[in-house]
């Protein structure tokens, strides 16, 4: 802060870098605004708006996945490589209820969220808590998470096989407004996703639990000293993380289809959203996910759509190299 007053007569380049350091969110917003203007100039308002809408469906899924992942990452310092397979698990739970049992999709969503939350809770009690109390290190937990991802995925493959399955959703009808087309399923995904994201944001921002989660994410030991029941908050974090992952999985399954790799393929973009938003920051993850989805979809206006997944990863690498603490993260000593 005092640096900005001390360096009044710095060069423009210097002050720009200074600005990027001090107000990264504003700079990021500026960059995105410039991208929008350039795209509108090149492709017209309609195409950009349509791509943004498509990107939003992708973005809510990334955001839902990222909020849970970032909380677990921030609080437990656990890089949960099995998070993607939580999504897959949720999707197949919904498939069981929605297709095998023939119940409505919303029942499927509910069961998926509940079941994935229970899975998260169970794993915390059976695996993560005992390992933490033994003082397991970063790599140890990381490799266990990868092992867990393998086991969840192969269990799903054991029961449902590798064939591609679809949920019972309407893929034909679409709605039109303001000249933009959106499929009914996509509309459902965006609406459900956005409502849950807003609720999530409010809970994390205003509820006592949300404040406690953020306190743990900042400094677990300090939060414990301040009298927070950290065990309880950690359990709730897993419930939160699991339920949102389950929902993200169902929405992704509804949007495209179900296969055992569904979640793993989403894991890296979700990591990208987490890192863009700053690790441990749920709001950052939420915005990061939405932005990433939209930017990936914008890229299809300029280059061939088959490259769009690559665009997401390249964005992740560039973001990490330029600003590892993320757009919304605070610069902290490593």
The verdict on 20 binding other proteins (CB under 8 A) reads: no
Q: At what angle do helices 45-76 and 83-95 cross, to 10 degrees?
A: 110
The verdict on 227 binding other proteins (CB under 8 A) reads: no
Instruction: Using the rule CB under 8 A, give the single segment among 44-52, 95-103, 291-299, 315-323 that binds other proteins.
Output: 315-323
Among 2, 9, 12, 158, binds other proteins (CB under 8 A): 158
Instruction: Using the rule CB under 8 A, give the single segment among 29-37, 57-65, 106-114, 269-277 that binds other proteins.
Output: 269-277
> Which residues lie below 8 Å from residue 208, measured CB to CB, with a gap of 6+?
none
Residues numbered 57 to 116 that lie near other proteins (CB under 8 A) are: 77, 79
Instruction: Give 36's strand partners.
Output: none
**Looking up tokens 């509910």, which residue turns up?**
110
Among 25, 26, 42, 309, binds other proteins (CB under 8 A): 309
Size of the site for other proteins (CB under 8 A): 45
CB 92 within 8 A of CB 160: yes
Min separation Cβ 293 and other proteins, Å: 17
Min separation Cβ 109 and other proteins, Å: 26
CB 331 within 8 A of CB 325: yes
Maximum Cα–Cα distance across the chain? 70
For residues 319 and 146, give the distance between their C-alpha atoms in angstroms, rounded to a whole number. Answer: 24
Q: Which of 313, 267, 322 is nearest to 292 (CA)?
A: 313
Among 101, 122, 150, 206, binds other proteins (CB under 8 A): 150
The verdict on 314 binding other proteins (CB under 8 A) reads: yes
Q: Residue 182: in which H helix or E strand, if any?
A: strand 180-183
CB 62 within 8 A of CB 289: yes
Angle (CA) 4 8 9, round 5°: 140
Nearer to other proteins, 79 or 215 (CB): 79
Among 136, 187, 209, 301, binds other proteins (CB under 8 A): 136
Nearer to other proteins, 157 or 257 (CB): 157
Min separation Cβ 249 and other proteins, Å: 19
Instruction: Using the rule CB under 8 A, give the single segment among 17-25, 56-64, 133-141, 243-251 that binds other proteins.
Output: 133-141
For residues 245 and 123, give the distance between their C-alpha atoms in angstroms, rounded to a whole number. Answer: 15
| Backbone angles phi and psi of 172, in degrees to 5 | -95, -55
Min separation Cβ 170 and other proteins, Å: 30
* Residues engaged in binding other proteins (CB under 8 A): 77, 79, 127, 130-131, 136-144, 146-151, 153-155, 157-158, 161-162, 268, 271-272, 275, 279, 304, 306-307, 309-310, 313-314, 316-317, 320-321, 324, 334
């Amino acid at each position: 802060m005092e640096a900005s007053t001390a360096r009044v007569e710095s060069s423009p380049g210097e002050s720009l870098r200074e600005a990027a350091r001090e107000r990264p969110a504003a700079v990021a917003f500026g960059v995105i605004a410039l991208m929008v203007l350039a795209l509108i100039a090149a492709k017209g308002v309609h195409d950009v708006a349509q791509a943004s809408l498509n990107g939003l469906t992708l973005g809510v899924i990334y955001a839902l996945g990222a909020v849970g992942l970032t909380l677990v990452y921030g609080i437990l310092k656990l890089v949960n490589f099995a998070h993607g397979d939580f999504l897959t698990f949720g999707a197949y739970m919904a498939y069981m209820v929605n297709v095998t049992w023939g119940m409505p999709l919303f029942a499927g969503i509910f069961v998926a969220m509940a079941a994935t939350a229970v899975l998260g809770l169970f794993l915390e009690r059976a695996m993560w808590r005992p390992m933490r109390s033994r003082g397991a290190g970063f790599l140890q937990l990381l490799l266990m998470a990868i092992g867990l991802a393998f086991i969840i995925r192969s269990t799903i493959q054991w029961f449902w096989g590798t064939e591609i399955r679809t949920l019972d959703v309407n893929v034909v009808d679409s709605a039109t407004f303001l000249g933009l087309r959106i499929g009914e399923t996509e509309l459902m995904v965006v609406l459900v996703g956005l409502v849950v994201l807003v609720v999530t944001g409010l809970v994390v921002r205003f509820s006592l639990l949300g404040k406690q989660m953020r306190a743990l994410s900042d400094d677990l030991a300090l939060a414990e000293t301040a009298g927070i029941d950290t065990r309880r908050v950690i359990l709730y974090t897993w419930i939160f993380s699991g339920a949102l992952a389950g929902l993200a999985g169902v929405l992704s399954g509804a949007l495209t289809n179900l296969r055992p790799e569904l979640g793993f393929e989403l894991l890296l973009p979700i990591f990208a959203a987490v890192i863009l938003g700053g690790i441990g920051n749920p709001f950052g993850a939420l915005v990061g996910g939405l932005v990433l989805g939209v930017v990936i979809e914008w890229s299809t206006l300029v280059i061939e759509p088959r490259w769009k997944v690559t665009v997401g990863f390249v964005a992740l690498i560039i973001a990490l190299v330029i600003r590892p603490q993320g757009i919304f993260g605070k610069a902290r000593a490593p």
